[in-house]
C-alpha cells in the first residue's frame, strides 16, 4: 500500500490517496477543498485507477472537492454513511461562511458498519463511529495495520462534539471501540499528523475517562 496525503482548505483538512500498488487501483479518502488536484496528478501520472471516493463523514471540509474527483474519474463511486448523506446533498457550514460553493450530489452507495471494501487487493473494514457526526465512519485495514480515522481521533485530541448533530455519548462509545485495535495501528486522521492507537491510549488526555 502507498498513501499520499495532501492538506488544505480553510481548516487544514487531510485528503488521502490510498493505492494498492499491486493492481494500481486507488481510492480517495475525503476530498478537502483545494487538496485533491495534486493527488489526482499523482494518480494520472502513475496510471492509477481511482475507483472510489470514500467519505468519512459529511462535514464540508471533508467533501468540498468531491466533484473534482468525479470530473477526473467519473466512474468512481462516492460512498458515505446513509446518516451523513444529507450533508452531501446539501453541503453547508454551520460555523463559518464559506468562500466557495460546494456542489450538491447523492451518494452512489453507502458505507455501513462491518462492510468490507476492496481497493485492488487491499481490504478495509468499515467501522461505524458516530458522535462527531451521526454518520461518521472510520476505515480499518487489518493487514496493513492502518486506521483512516476521519474526525474521530487526532494526535492528542478528538473530534469536537459541540456541533448541532454531535453526540458526546456516542463519541465516547466510538472512541472506546477503536481503542481496542492493536497498539501499533497507524492512525491517519482528518486533521493533524499521523499517530498510533498505542500512543493515543497512553498520552491523549481526551481518552483518559474512557
* Nearer CB in complex with Zn ion: 25/55: 55
Measured on CA atoms in the order 145, 133, 50, 8, is the torsion positive or negative?
negative
Total number of residues shown for the chain: 210
How far apart are CB 189 and Zn ion at their closest, in Å? 9
The least distance separating Zn ion from the CB of residue 22, rounded to whole angstroms, comes to 31
Q: Does 20 bind Zn ion (CB under 5 A)?
A: no
CB of 120 to Zn ion, least distance (A): 27
Q: From the list 20, 61, 85, 200, which residue makes contact with Zn ion (rule: CB under 5 A)? A: 61
- Which cell numbers hold the place of 31? 476530498
Residue 52 host element (H or E): strand 49-54
Options 140, 190, 195, 200; binder of Zn ion; rule CB under 5 A: 190
Q: Is 87 in the site for Zn ion (CB under 5 A)?
A: no
CB 172 within 8 A of CB 131: yes
Q: For Zn ion, give the closer residue by CB, 22 or 95.
A: 95
Stretch that binds Zn ion, among 98-106, 139-147, 149-157, 171-179 (CB under 5 A): 149-157
Give the nearest distance from C-beta 210 to Zn ion in angstroms: 20
Choose one: 25-33, 54-62, 77-85, 194-202; the region binding Zn ion (CB under 5 A). 54-62
CA angle 79-40-113, nearest 5°? 20
Between CA 151 and CA 171 the distance in angstroms is 11
Residues in the interface with Zn ion (CB under 5 A) total 4
Cβ atoms of 12 and 30 within 8 Å: the answer is: no
> What span, in angstroms and rounded, lies between the C-alpha atoms of 38 and 23?
21
Site residues (CB under 5 A) for Zn ion, limited to 150-189: 151
Smallest gap from residue 132 Cβ to Zn ion (A): 6
What is the C-alpha separation between 132 and 150, in angstroms, rounded? 10
Residues that bind Zn ion (CB under 5 A): 59, 61, 151, 190
Amino acid at each position: 500500500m502507498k498513501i499520499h496525503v495532501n492538506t488544505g482548505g480553510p481548516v487544514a483538512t487531510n485528503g488521502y490517496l490510498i493505492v494498492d500498488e499491486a493492481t494500481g487501483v486507488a481510492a480517495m479518502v475525503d476530498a478537502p477543498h483545494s487538496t485533491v488536484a495534486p493527488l489526482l496528478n499523482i494518480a494520472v501520472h502513475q496510471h492509477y485507477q481511482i475507483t472510489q471516493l470514500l467519505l468519512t463523514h459529511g462535514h464540508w471540509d471533508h467533501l468540498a472537492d468531491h466533484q473534482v474527483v468525479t470530473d477526473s474519474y467519473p466512474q468512481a463511486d462516492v460512498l458515505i454513511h446513509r446518516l451523513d448523506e444529507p450533508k452531501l446533498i446539501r453541503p453547508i457550514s454551520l460555523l463559518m461562511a464559506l468562500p466557495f460553493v460546494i456542489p450538491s450530489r447523492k451518494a452512489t452507495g453507502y458505507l455501513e458498519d462491518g462492510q468490507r471494501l476492496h481497493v485492488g487487493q487491499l481490504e478495509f473494514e468499515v467501522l461505524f463511529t458516530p458522535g462527531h457526526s451521526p454518520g461518521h465512519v472510520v476505515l480499518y485495514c487489518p493487514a496493513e495495520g492502518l486506521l483512516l480515522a476521519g474526525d474521530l481521533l487526532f494526535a492528542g485530541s478528538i473530534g469536537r462534539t459541540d456541533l448541532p448533530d454531535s453526540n458526546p455519548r456516542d463519541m465516547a462509545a466510538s472512541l472506546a471501540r477503536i481503542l481496542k485495535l492493536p497498539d501499533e495501528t497507524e492512525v491517519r486522521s482528518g486533521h493533524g499528523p499521523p499517530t498510533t492507537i498505542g500512543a493515543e491510549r497512553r498520552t491523549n488526555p481526551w481518552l483518559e475517562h474512557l
